[in-house]
Each structure stands twice: as structure tokens, then as C-alpha cells.
Amino acid sequence: MSLYHVQKLLFGLNNDAALRDRWATDRAALLADAALEASERAALESGDVAALYAMGVHPLLLAPFAGRCGLAWPDYLATLAAVEQTSGIPDPR
Amino acid sequence: MPLVFAAALNHAPGITGRRDNATPAQRDVFFGACARLRERLEAARAEALVVVSPEHWTNFFLSAMPAFCVGRGESHWGPVEDEPFLKIPRTRVPGAPALADAIAEVAAEHLDLAYSEELRLDHGVMVPLHLLVPAMGLPVVPIIINCLAQPLPHMARCWTLGEALRRACDARAERIGLVCAGGLSHWPATPRSGKLNVPWDRDVVDAVLAHDRARLLAYRDDDIVREAGPGGHEIRAWAVLAGATEGLGGELLCFEPIPAYAVTGAVLDMRVAA
């Protein structure tokens, strides 16, 4: 579990246009360079917002990523609600 | 020149981004109060503004998360959010680096403030600026508080920061205004977004108006999260205002729950010029 590196990549994508360009054109290499576990890499690559939320990604890091993955706001909220129903609210601090 | 203006108001992105989602009555009350506050800021003839606001993963990550960071840039770029989302045009807001340095120097007796020449401004600073200084021409010193990632600065340190800001501003030749722009209860970007705990919000605002240090310091992180959501940590910005204006009065211009903005719209003028 390397939540730190998952969140670090999302922080970078949210704030760094050059990283977003690389994400668009060279995603596999970018993910290979990051210190991620296979499940984390897969969740990021496929835009699996539910999996990212369940692993504890902070909502303020997750929401902009979800938007870029094409998830409309109501669908984003529904996705998180479904995770909470099955596995509870991730660390609310 | 003593501090010439000190106030607090919300910074929720819905205030500008989803303005029309609130009812006409809610908009009248909240934006009317903001307009009155703007008139008072203009009457105070402030020459620079210190804006205290929370971190939102805009400038800092867990690689290095300061408790407090003072922006000493010659100018600050913002908002980082897309214009269609926030409905505030991107611009460069002038900075006030000499004032920023003076604040850090005065605060150094009790606090070690981080500083940055490259702070970017998000809705936390840009929404209050849009409401109070829409031309964006007033030099601004942003001060960012970690209200996001544990461990957070203790409320006592936030009060101490307010005291330091007051001493620093009072010692300057220019006329300075202080705006503290934190949220009250909110659960941002979660299924509970739009939920409010209005009695809790009122208690915080009343404690600030009373400059009640003991009451503000009694807020504990676990209680805040349970009762007011993760966004409730942003009351640290309100504690800064209370510390900066101890011994003065205070006037509540607006206290209007607006679920469409995911915030209780609260506008406080601490009447430093009265």
C-alpha cells in the first residue's frame, strides 16, 4: 500500500500542466516510474474512482481527477456513496 | 498605522461558481452583507490586504506541509481553478513582499512561519478577493494554513498568529486590512457535500465575536470532524481573526445557511476602525 505515492501523482496531475501532458501521451511510462503497487497502478490507469476512494485518497485530490476522467459531479458523489455503503467512510480526518 | 480593517467571510467555490443556485432571498442577504463589507473596506482606505485562508492541495502536498505559509511573491497567480468552474477570471494579484517579511519577522518570536515566493491562489483567496476587491488591484499577502493534513496547527497557534498579525500590521506605516476566509462546517467533495451543522457554525461565530480564546481552544480535531466534517478544520482562519482583534468589538453582518453553496454564509466585521 503506497497511498502516499497515489496521492502524490494525483496532486501532480491536479497542479502541473506538464505532468498532465505526460499523463495524456505517456501514461504507462509515468505509472511505471511511480512507486505504486499493481492494484494502485490499475486503479489510476482505468480511472477507478471507487477503488481510489476505498484506499483512502483524499476527496479534494480525488474530485478533480474524477472530473478529468469524465465523471459528472452527481455520478462522482454516487460512486463515493456506494463505496461508503459497502466499506464505510474512509478515514474521515 | 494600526490595522484599519479586519473581517471574516466564507470562500466556498459555490459562492461564485454556482451563485444562481441559492434562492433570491439567500443571495440578497449574503451578497448584500458582502457589499456592505466591501464599502467598509473601501472607506478604510486600506493600502494592502492580508488574506488568511486554508490549504486545499493547491500549493503543498505531504512532501512538505507547513502549518502556516506567508506569500512573499511580488505577485500571485490565480485562481488555479478553471474559469467555468469558479467564474473568476485568471489574473496576477499584486503582492506586498516587504509586508510579508515584516509579518514573518514579528511572528518569529512565537511562530516559525514558512514563506514562499510562488504561492498560487485558489478559491480560498480568490473568492473573498472577488467579493471585496473585484478589480484585484490591492497588494495582497496571502497566508495559507494547513487545515487539511494531520497533524494540523493547534488552535492556540492560530490565535497566536492573529496576535502577531495585529502587532506586525500596527507597526507598519501603510494602512492594512485583514481578511480571514475559512469555512465553517462542511464535507467537501463527499456524498455529504451540502450538509451543514448550523448550530455548530453559530457557536464558532459567537466565540469569534466574543474573542473567547478558551472557547476556541476547546475545539478538538476529533470533535470537529464528527460534528462539522473535515472542512470544519478551517475554523482555524476564524481563530486567527479572533486573536488579531482581541479587545475590539465585532458585528455579524450575515449568518445565512446556504446549502447550495455548501456553507453557512457568515460575514463578520470586527470594526477595528469604529
Q: Mean pLDDT over residues A64-88, rounded?
A: 95
- CA angle B97/B98/B103 to nearest 5° reads 95
Predicted pLDDT at A91 = 72
Contact A80 B190 (CB under 8 A): yes
Instruction: Kindly tell me the burial class for residue B214, based on how many C-beta atoms sit within 10 Å of its own C-beta (0-12, 13-18, 19 or more).
Output: exposed
Q: Is A3-87 CATH 1.10.700.10?
A: yes
Burial of A46 (0-12, 13-18, 19+ CB in 10 A): exposed
Chain A neighbours among B 190-249 (CB < 8 Å)?
Answer: 190-191, 193, 221, 225, 229-230
Q: Say how far apart CA B100 and CA B92 lie, in whole Å.
A: 17
Rounded Cα distance between B52 and B142, Å, is 6
The residue behind cell 463505496 is A83
Q: Would you place residue A88 in the very low, low, confident or very high pLDDT band (cuts 50, 70, 90)?
A: confident
Q: In what order do the strands lie in the sheet with B68-71?
A: B114-116, B68-71, B140-145, B48-54, B176-180, B5-9, B263-269, B251-258
pLDDT tier for residue A46 given thresholds of 50, 70 and 90: very high
Interface test with B, best of A60, A61, A75 (most B CBs within 10 A): A60
CATH T-level fold of B5-269 = Protocatechuate 4,5-dioxygenase; Chain B (3.40.830)
Supply the ipTM of this predicted assembly: 0.94
Using DSSP, state whether B243 is helix, strand or coil.
helix
> Which of B175, B168, B153, B176 has the alpha carbon at shortest distance from B237?
B153
What pLDDT shows up at residue B274?
59
Give the best residue of A15, A19, A53, A86 to mutate against chain B (max B CB count within 10 A): A15
Question: What are the structural domain ranges in chain A?
Answer: 3-87
- For residue range B47-66, list pLDDT tens digits in order: 999 999 999 999 999 999 99
The C-alpha atoms of residue B34 and residue B37 are separated, in whole angstroms, by 5
Nearest CA in chain A to B229: A92
Beta bridge partners, B51, equal B142, B179
CB pairs under 8 A between A and B: 44
A15 vs B contacts (CB less than 8 Å): 57-58, 80, 120
Of A14, A78, A89, the CB nearest to B57: A14
Domain spans in chain B, listed from the N-terminal domain onward: 5-269
Q: Which of A65, A36, A29 is nearest to A48 (CA)?
A: A65
Q: Which residues contact B261 (CB under 8 A, 6 or more apart)?
A: B10, B12, B14, B15, B18, B21, B22
Q: Could you say which residues of chain B have pLDDT below 70?
A: 274
- Of B161, B149, B139, the residue nearest B237 (C-alpha): B161
8 A C-beta contact, residue B178 and residue B273: no
Q: Enumerate the residues of chain A whose CB falls inside 8 A of the CB of residue B63.
A: 8
How far is CA B121 from its chain centroid? Answer: 12
Q: Which pLDDT score, from 0 to 100, does residue A92 have?
A: 53
Which of B58, B61, B225 lies at the smallest CB-CB distance from A92?
A: B225
Closest in A61, A77, A93 to B150, CB measured: A93
Chain A residues with CB under 8 Å of a chain B CB are 4, 7-8, 11, 14-15, 58-63, 77-78, 80-81, 84, 89, 92-93
- pLDDT, position B213: 97
B 7-46: CB under 8 A from A: none
